[in-house]
Chains A and B, each alone.
Chain A
Amino acid sequence: MKLHELSATAIAAAVQAKEVSAGDVLRAHIARIEVLDPALNCFTDRTFTRAATEAAAVDRKIAAGEVVGPLAGVPIAVKNLFDVTGLATLAGAKIEREAAPAAADAPILARLTAAGAVLLGALNMDEYAYGFVTENAHDGVTHNPHDLARIAGGSSGGSAAAVAGGLAALTLGSDTNGSIRLPAGLCGIFGLKPSYGRIDRTGTFPFVDSFDHLGPFARSTADLAIAYDLLQDSDRAMPALTQRIDGARVAVLEDWFEYGAAPEMLAAVAAVAKGLGSMAKAILPEARRARAAAFCISAFEGGQLHKANLQTRPQDFDPATRPRLIAGALQPAETIYQAQRFRNWFAHEAKKLFEIFDLLLAPATPCVAPLIGQKTFELDGQTMPLRPNLGIYTQPISFIGLPVVCVPVTTGMLPRGVQIIAPAGRESLALAAAWQLERDGVVAAPVAEPTL
């Protein structure tokens, strides 16, 4: 197996066993980036000099017999809304290019590098994280490694495509309405959106305070779990990846979460359900309204956040972002108040459902990765605008902050993502389910080999 094909866990084990040096791993990934990134457009900043220093430090420690962390020599990268020392935190925006360079890494990035990870750079995204496509007017389109004519999804498109293409073993992204789960699904990799509030957001550029989450992308469940354990102190997932969850009560979400889904997406969900030994179905009531409430709150909080720049320099925003932010900021208070009231009601309904089931399943997207530039798609027999509707199955879940592991069904066609949704605080259960599916061969994330 080539070095860029190894999981983060395998890289760290090989480095620690002195089978390969961190420097060798880094050079292999830089070579991969040099060849593929001109076509994929994942990276907006490359920090290879820093990476060389970090890799050399890992190799020195190992040579000296010192203890190294669980990510020793693992090449990582972060969505460009994370603070990286010496770089302006772009958040995908032209306006933020004027920002002073960050004085320090975001704390959760620092946690990974303290564990031995090596930072390759910062990654492309939709402007201010407001989108599902990563067709950024300032930094260009990130292409899907499985088919360069298709989108990687968004807003963490660079983070997903970099892992899928073997440019990095592990990346970080953010998820407000689906921005980890959606690109993970379209790019055929694993993504974790933890419970709301689980991971510290300090040192990252906000979008919607009510819904913003941070989390990792990887090509294996174990990599997600080890990253999750490093990113916070209140939970441990790795111990859960040792036993099957055959007793878990699992159900496929019907109603809204089937509405408009392509048959191949429903087939992927069914394959995952079968892999978890379940034929049960469940309904999360009024998910359509949850999606609508998340839609309105996101536009409002995002618009208010950027109001000063929308007043004085609207021409500097991405044309795809600008109208939604302006319109969002001008919404009446009634909408936002009632949407936040509905959030409480909907969270209570989800809790009731989790008294019956332990895990819920739903597609990550209604369809496989759309073509770049595609404006509409078929949803339940109707032609619908693509951008606002790709996240219809992810938005109701982040609305109430539930933890989700997105797992990739990659056999036979373009990747299809399935959300494994757990009760708040039960990330470990969702990760254990993903690990079981991966071990049984139901889901997998092989490195994509783009045709250049």
Chain B
Amino acid sequence: MTPSDDPIADYLDQAAILLNLPIRPEHYAEVLAAFRVLRAQAEVVTEFALPEHTEAAPRYTP
């Protein structure tokens, strides 16, 4: 593929193919808008430098 000037849209398009979750044309604009909101929130999380020994919060208990 040729990258566009919108990496978020590029990611969404490829993820939809790879994860087999096609986005119908009539739903595309609203899904992209929702994904942009999620990316902005994700950056708020991932920009924070956690101590390296911090584990994920698992719930599984055998």
Name A's B-contacting residues (CB within 8 A): 209-210, 286, 288-289, 292-293, 295-296, 299, 307, 310-311, 314-315, 319, 322-324, 326-332, 334-335, 337-345, 347, 388
Contacts and interface: CB of A to CB of B under 8 A. Distances in A.
Contacts of B15: 330, 332
Given A327-B34, A329-B21, A344 B54 contact: yes
Top 7 nearest A-B pairs (CB, nearest first) are A327-B34, A292-B44, A340-B56, A327-B35, A323-B30, A343-B57, A292-B41
Nearest to A339: B45
Interface of B: 11-12, 15-16, 19-24, 27, 30-35, 37-38, 41-42, 44-46, 48, 50-51, 54-59
Contacts of B41: 292, 295-296
28 contacts: A209-B59, A289-B44, A289-B45, A292-B42, A296-B38, A296-B41, A299-B38, A307-B21, A311-B21, A315-B24, A324-B34, A328-B34, A328-B38, A330-B15, A330-B16, A330-B35, A331-B42, A332-B11, A332-B42, A335-B45, A338-B50, A340-B56, A341-B50, A341-B54, A342-B48, A345-B51, A347-B57, A388-B37
A376 to B, nearest CB: 14
Contacts of B58: 340
B5 to A, nearest CB: 20
A293 B45 contact: yes
A335 B16 CA distance: 17
Given A310-B21, A311-B20, A322 B27 contact: yes
A295 B56 contact: no
Given A314-B24, A329-B21, A344 B57 contact: yes
Contacts of B12: 327, 330
A288 B31 contact: no
A42 B35 CA distance: 32
- Residue of B22, B24, B32, B46 with highest tally of chain A CB at under 10 A: B46
Contacts of A286: 48
- Residue of A209, A293, A307, A330 with highest tally of chain B CB at under 10 A: A330
Given A331-B38, A334-B46, A342-B50, 18 more contacts: A289-B44, A296-B38, A311-B21, A324-B34, A326-B27, A326-B31, A326-B34, A328-B34, A329-B21, A330-B15, A330-B16, A330-B19, A330-B35, A332-B11, A338-B45, A338-B50, A341-B50, A344-B57
- Residue of B12, B23, B41 with highest tally of chain A CB at under 10 A: B41
Contacts of A324: 34
- Residue of B23, B31, B33, B45 with highest tally of chain A CB at under 10 A: B45
A288 B15 CA distance: 27
B46 to A, nearest CB: 5
- Residue of B38, B50, B54, B56 with highest tally of chain A CB at under 10 A: B38
Contacts of B23: 326
Nearest to A325: B34
Contacts of B59: 209-210
Contacts of A328: 34, 38
A68 B25 CA distance: 59
Contacts of B42: 292, 296, 331-332, 335, 339
A322 B30 CA distance: 9
B55 A341 contact: yes
Contacts of A322: 27, 30-31
B33 A323 contact: yes
Nearest to B40: A292
- Residue of B16, B48, B50, B59 with highest tally of chain A CB at under 10 A: B48
A128 to B, nearest CB: 15
Contact of B31 (A307, A327, A332, A334): A327
B57 A323 contact: no
B56 to A, nearest CB: 4
Given A286-B48, A311-B20, A388-B37, A337 B31 contact: no
Contacts of A327: 12, 31-32, 34-35, 37-38
B2 to A, nearest CB: 21
Given A329-B19, A342-B45, A342-B50, A337 B24 contact: no
Contacts of B34: 299, 323-324, 326-328
B45 A323 contact: no
A329 B18 CA distance: 12
